[in-house]
Every structure is written in structure tokens, then in C-alpha cells.
């Protein structure tokens, strides 16, 4: 249950001070109750995590492009972008051959 931390009178956000919630605008005060407590993030346990195993088949979820592999001359690779240098410089394009698994990069 989520409890709004806003003043019921003037709709301003309440601030926490000395075990109370106070409104800076109109002076409304109320004690912090059990429903007002912050909810801690629940940690996931191993039983809650679902692992998908594709067995011998590879799941094809990455985008592909027709580009020649410098190692085996295959004409299909998956690709992705990474920002390796400063934010004002262009991204680096990575490729991985779908045939031999060779990975290479291309700078702009």
C-alpha cells in the first residue's frame, strides 16, 4: 500500500521531522504511522529467478548485419554499440561473426 506524503489541506509535499510529517506551507502536522514507513526493496532469492536455458540452440536476439568477417569471410554478423571514450566522441561499433564467433570493432 502506497501512502501519499502530501498535505491533505494544501497538497504540498510533507517533510519528515522529529517523528512527524509537517507541511511547510500551511503548518499541517501528523505523526508518522506504520503505513508511512518506507518500504525496503525486496531482495530476490534464487527460487524467484527463472533461468532460461536454450540447450544446444543459440537464441538469436541481437541485430544482424551483412558484413564480411575478416577471419572466415562469412557475410553475417551480430552488432552492438558501446560508448568507450568521452561522451562527446562517437560510439564504437562491435561485430561478432555468426559463423566463427570472431569479434572486431569499427571506429567512426
pLDDT tens digits, one per residue of 42-81 = 666 666 666 566 555 555 678 999 999 999 999 999 999 8
Say which of 9, 89, 91, 99 is annotated catalytic: 89
Q: Is 88 a catalytic residue?
A: yes
Say which of 41, 54, 88, 108 is annotated catalytic: 88
Residue 1: band (very low, low, confident or very high) from pLDDT cuts 50, 70, 90: very low
Q: Is 36 a catalytic residue?
A: no
CATH of domain 64-106: 2.20.25.10
Q: Which CATH number is correct for 1-38, 3.10.620, 2.20.70, 1.20.120, 2.40.30? A: 2.20.70
pLDDT tens digits, one per residue of 79-103 = 998 888 788 888 889 999 999 999 9
Report d(CA 45, CA 80) in Å as an integer.
31
What are the residue boundaries of the structural domains of the chain, listed by start? 1-38, 64-106
Beta-carbon contacts of residue 24 (< 8 Å; ≥ 6 apart): 12, 15
Amino acid at each position: 500500500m502506497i501512502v501519499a506524503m502530501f498535505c491533505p489541506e494544501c497538497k504540498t509535499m510533507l517533510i519528515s521531522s522529529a517523528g512527524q510529517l509537517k507541511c511547510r506551507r500551511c503548518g499541517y502536522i501528523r505523526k508518522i504511522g506504520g503505513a508511512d514507513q518506507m518500504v525496503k526493496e525486496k531482495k530476490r532469492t534464487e527460487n524467484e529467478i527463472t533461468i532460461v536455458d536454450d540447450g544446444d540452440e543459440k537464441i538469436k536476439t541481437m541485430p544482424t548485419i551483412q558484413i564480411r568477417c575478416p577471419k572466415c569471410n562469412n557475410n553475417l554478423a551480430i552488432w552492438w554499440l558501446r560508448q568507450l571514450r568521452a561522451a562527446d566522441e562517437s560510439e564504437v561499433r562491435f561485430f561478432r561473426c555468426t559463423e566463427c564467433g570472431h569479434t572486431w570493432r569499427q571506429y567512426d
